[in-house]
Structure 1
Amino acid sequence: MTDKRLRIADVVTHFESWCPPSLAYKWDNVGLQVGELHQKVTGVLTTLDVTEAVVDEAIQLGANLIIAHHPLLFAAPKKLDTTAPKGRVVKKLMQHNITVYAAHTNLDIVEGGVNDLMADALDLKEVRVFLPEGHDTYKKVVVFVPATHEQIVKDALHTNGAGNIGNYEKVSFVSQGNSYFQPNAEAQPFIGEAGKLEKVEEVRIEVLVPSKHVNQAVKAMVAAHPYEEVAYDIFADEKKGKPFGLGRVGELPAPTTLKDLAALVKQRYNVPHVRFAGDASATVETVAILGGSGRDYVDQALQQADVYITGDLTFHETQDAVEAGLQLIDPGHYAEQIMKKKVADYVQTAFSDVAVHVSETDTNPFQSI
């Protein structure tokens, strides 16, 4: 997309068409953190965390939008002391008109997000959701179109999330009929004349759309439709879509040892160190993954996998898990940095004229000796 008037809001709208805030947990704080959405985009920087060093990087690059995984303002601050670390960051952001947007648990949950990226990095097969929260819901969108514009409108719907059912894409039902209408004196009709009853051969297009994509699909459909007043309906549908939730479970391409898998995790996640617990020579094949802090879900991992990969494991929980027969690998919370390139690529593909950067600032607070 090329537009000299491109706003931050346009980038955010596109991003949310893939990663809607509605997927986030209620306790989470996602979306706009600092700044405003209506200024022109000068550049985008993707990062795991927003630190003062990351803000300095954005300033140097000329980027006025930072898209982060971890919210800068996780809980509502009671005060904002601009001499304190977080206050300094907010002050610098505002001084340089930089907007910060966060996608946290919604980016963890969404298909293609953090946990899928972590699973893909290990080439896992038969991947499924580790902690299901629910299923995608659908709406049925019905629109009436002159027969000459059937394919144009269907293409607009299909490229904006409509018509995908399981392993099938571009699914629609089309029926033919006649439409009758009479434009009034204020109308500017694509077909017909004011004050004259018209009969037009039209088609009725029906498509299923995931609820999270309905607004996007309808907007694209209306834009592609030739009429100034578009006749369409949206109906609820009982069909269940794919399950969604935190974490992923999948199978390794071939069984391996816990120690070898730990080494692979360190390499593929590009982290300075990993910890592992259990029998180093134990054979593992089924892997549960939860990016970030997953220590609260050890019991669920024990029921579903041979080995659990997650961050922030504590001593006693790890000890109990190993005694129960679960192998564990802790690559640290910083393994979630895997999201930076994916988010940058997603934005860059849509907005080719915008400079999109992957942050090179290391925000990992831990060092190893």
Structure 2
Amino acid sequence: MAKTVNGHEIIQLFEQFSPKAYAMEGDKIGLQIGTLNKKVNNVMITLDVLENVVDEAIGKNVDLMIAHHPPIFRPLKHVATDQPAGRIIEKCIKHDIAVYVAHTNLDVADGGVNDLLAEALELEETRVLVPTYEDQIKQLALYVPQEFEEAIRTALGNAGAGHIGNYSHCVFSNEGTGSFLPSEDADPFIGQTGQLEFVKEVRIETIFPASIEKQVIREMIKAHPYEEVAYSVHTTDLPPIQKGLGRIGELREPMTLGDFARFVKTKLDVNGARFVGDQDAVVKKVAVLGGDGNKYIHQAKRMGADVYVTGDLYFHVAHDAMMLGLNVVDPGHYAEKIMKEGVKAKLQSLCSEKKYDVQLFVSESNTNPFQFM
């Protein structure tokens, strides 16, 4: 049976794969308009929050928009409803549409903007281009009655714990006997107040990235039958997981820069792609960074990229790339629209696991300001 869901529950699922901790310092993320403290039936994923997008959301009875680009980025001095920015806020509030933003945290996230771009370009053996965050590995140990072992294993794995390389739901367990004495104020799941109880229990251990500790503990407690859950969290000596902006990998087969620029245009479904370099140059190792990646051309070169795919390339930065001998392909900032279907797919999968009664849409509104002759 499908379950009704509120905004907080949707965002809790979303932040399982795009934690706020991944965002760059000072970035404008999280809830920007409205409230999450309400029932949510319809969620729309969008790249931008422009007036045409808000009008689309109104027409689709959307309760929550999840956007990549923040509608409120610079500090507001006023909300003038006779101005475009003010009208956007006014319409969202009038129609009770909450707006939640995942910006650089979605760029960094596994399966986020940069992974989606790398996947679309069919890159292999990808790794982080610009490290920005180290996720420490922690260990969780807890005790549960034997008959609830499988439920706890599943809850932990679904919350993101127990991921090791290409494997998920990695858990160790061993059996033992637990004892406890419920006080007069207790409401024990097993046993009676004032009587010492002995229970066949299982000790479960797993690991998880520190960035998702709250959600792992929350889901574990939710699935656990006991009124008071005995658990402990420890730091480990395991190397941290490196997260960051951009990806670098290799094409299956080398191609000329000219052919690669056309390949980028097709795969990212854009109207044009500027490039810097000799169109007959052969490229195989590719760096990609969604949005404005001007400041990272030197990093792409240091990492050995033959070509760097990024948006909003500046004139003088293009000169710098030429002098570095780095080929560049610029498909524009709007190439990030790829996030809409990608986020929808990941969030839909998580909502289905929870049996949430919610509809997910991607915005069909065009927010690209540029036209091409």
Q: 1:68, CA displacement in angstroms?
A: 0.7
Aligned to 1:327: 327
Greater shift, 207-216 or 32-41, is seen at: 207-216
Distance 2:128 2:292 in 1: 17
- Please name the residue that 2:361 is paired with: 357
Q: Cα 1:100–1:204, aligned 2, differ >3 Å: closer, same or farther?
A: same
Aligned with 1:142: secondary structure? Answer: strand
**Residue aligned with 2:288, SS:** strand
Mapped to 2, the partners of 1:158 and 1:171 lie a distance apart of 7
Name the counterpart of 1:275.
274
Deviations 1:53-106 (A, max 9, x none): 000000111112111100000111112221111111111111111111111000
Paired residue for 1:246? 245
Rounded to whole Å, the distance in 2 between the matches of 1:62 and 1:220 is 30
- Given that 1:257 and 1:281 are in contact with CA atoms closer than 8 Å, whether structure 2 keeps it comes out as yes
User: What is the distance in 2 between the residues matched to 1:197 and 1:42?
Assistant: 47
Matched residue, 2:53: 54
Give, in whole Å, the separation in 2 of the partners of 1:148 and 1:34: 44
Q: TM-score, normalised by structure 1?
A: 0.96
Q: Is the 8 A contact 1:135 1:240 kept in 2?
A: no
| Deviation readout 1:328-361 (Å, 9 max, x if unpaired) | 1000010000001111222333335322111111
Report the equivalent of 2:348. 348
After superposition, give the CA deviation of every residue in 1:21-56 in whole Å (9 maximum; x if it has no partner).
Answer: 111111210011111111221311111110000000
Give RMSD over aligned pairs. Answer: 1.5
| Secondary structure of the structure 2 residue equivalent to 1:247 | strand
Q: How far is the alpha carbon of 1:278 from its aligned partner?
A: 0.5
Percent identity of paired positions between Structure 1 and Structure 2: 47
Give, in whole Å, the separation in 2 of the partners of 1:303 and 1:180.
58
Alpha-carbon distance in 1 for matches of 2:17, 2:44: 18
Task: Report the CA distance between 1:187 and its aligned residue.
Answer: 2.4
**Between 158-167 and 76-85, the greater mean CA deviation after superposition:** 158-167
Secondary structure of 1:256's match? strand
Shift of 1:244: 0.4
Match of 1:307 in 2: 307
What is the aligned partner in structure 1 of residue 138 from structure 2? 139
Contact 2:137 2:241 in 1 (8 A): no
Number of residue pairs matched? 368
Give 1:297's aligned residue: 296
Query: What is the Cα deviation at residue 17 of structure 1?
Result: 1.5
Residue segments in structure 2 that go unaligned for 5+ positions in a row = none
Query: What are structure 1's unaligned runs of at least 5 residues?
Result: none
Q: 1:116 maps to what in 2? A: 115
Letter in 1 for 2:232: D
* SS class of match (1:157): helix
C-alpha distance in 1, partners of 2:51/2:133?
Answer: 38
For 2:177, the equivalent position in structure 1 comes to 178
